[in-house]
Amino acid sequence: MSKVLFITPVHPDANGSGRQKRAHLWLSNLQMAGHEVHILHVQWDLAEGMTSVSERKHVLNVRFTFTEKLNQVLQFFTAFFTSEMAGISRFFWTPLATSQKAHLKSVYQNNDFDKIICFRLYLSEYAVYLKSLTGCPLMELDMDDIESSTWNSISRLLWKDKVFKRAVIHKLTSFHSLLNERRALKLFDSVYVCSTDDKGRLDKGSGNAEVKVLPNKIHGNPPEIPILGKPSRLLFIGSFGYYPNEEAILWFTKNVFPELRRLNPSITLNIAGFGCPERLVKYFSSLEGVFFFEGVSIIDEMYEQSNIVISPLHAGGGTKLKVLEAMWFGLPVVGTKESVRGLAVTANDHYLAADTKEEFIEQCLLLLQDEQIYKHLSIEARKLVAEKYCY
């Protein structure tokens, strides 16, 4: 039995956020393959230190002092001219400071691992250090999405919306991620991404790493397909700590939903998500026919109360688990090209494509009026998820 160390920024959870779901997919795959899995969970916390959850799981709480932050700023700028992987938290990176090295050394110095798997690029410094500490022969990295592309996409969206300060930060983050992606291809033995599109982008880079695809998947068996005939309710689900989600639902409620209501007053919109700022909560509550649900604990209920899932995303990266989740529940999806990027889906068979205001209106009304098309999309999309995107 081989011994594997899995480094993750989140707790693996099949019912959690997108990253928690992917971490759970990794854990499940490793356990099914018969590996002895050890987990290092690195998280931000007010009190720094290492906590032992069990013999095979440790949680490293990361917190940077002012001196360490200054040191990381220097390391960040020198990293542009060296081969070292480094960064600062301001740029969505979790750097490895001297205090963290001491915690890791106290736990892992006498451990022998056959392989180290690092989930997410921004924890790659931890993997590199632990390989040198333990002498582990193999090191793999799961990028999930290509962060340089993701941050660049969001930067363009922010710039278009005149949120200039955040746009510049995201642009710098994109460049910083690009440098570290190139270094990762040289330092790691294998690099994983979630789609063949992303694999094609990384294959163009130079390095020794073998680039592999691990698609995002949903745990369990799809539930029964809902029956058409419930109230005409649309559904949007997303975390509001992620700017593309906020931009998407604001665009939809300002440009699409009022016209839909004018054409069909019975149409309503459910919005569910975590971390919604108060200004958005007030805005949603002011809209007729819109119902907002903060931090829904049982997401199944949202799908059971809705007919159609809308995904008007204009930026982002990787593959969209919320689209797969909607298909898993048997709800037809009306979405942009960005929403389905990287997924093996076909328009008019697995979802309805819409990128403009007029297309969203047309496709939503079509689904509510044509039961045959509704059922076709529901059945075919659910079949696709069951065959390719479940574990």
> Which residue ranges form the domains of the chain, and what is each CATH number?
3-213 (3.40.50), 233-388 (3.40.50.2000)
Higher-pLDDT residue of 286 and 64 is: 286
Listing DSSP states for 27-71 in one string gives: HHHHHHTT-EEEEEEEEE-SS-EEEEEETTEEEEEE---HHHHHH
Over residues 335-367, the pLDDT tens digits come to 999 999 999 999 999 999 999 999 999 999 999
Rounded percentage of the chain residues whose pLDDT exceeds 90: 79
Question: Confidence band (pLDDT; 50, 70, 90) for 210?
Answer: very high
Average pLDDT, the chain: 93
Query: What pLDDT was estimated at residue 230?
Result: 63
The arithmetic mean of pLDDT across residues 3-25, rounded, is 96
What is the model's pLDDT at position 225? 65
Q: What pLDDT sits at residue 217?
A: 96
Q: Determine the pLDDT at residue 226.
A: 62
Of the candidates 128, 47, 122, 129, the one whose C-alpha atom is nearest the C-alpha of residue 89 is: 122
pLDDT at 224 exceeding the cut of 80: no
Q: Which two tokens stand for residue 373?
A: 């098309």
Q: Which of 23-27, 34-38, 304-308, 339-343 has the lowest mean pLDDT?
A: 304-308
H helix runs in the chain, sequence order: 18-32, 66-78, 98-108, 124-134, 147-160, 164-187, 196-203, 243-255, 257-263, 278-285, 300-304, 321-328, 337-340, 357-369, 371-388
Interval 226-276: pLDDT, tens: 666 667 999 999 999 899 999 999 999 999 999 999 999 999 999 999 899
Tokens 């697995």 appear where?
350
Residues 148 and 39: their CA atoms lie apart, in Å, by: 26
- What is the pLDDT at residue 85? 80
Whole-angstrom distance, CA of residue 330 vs CA of residue 303: 9
Pairing state between β 139-144 and 308-311: unpaired
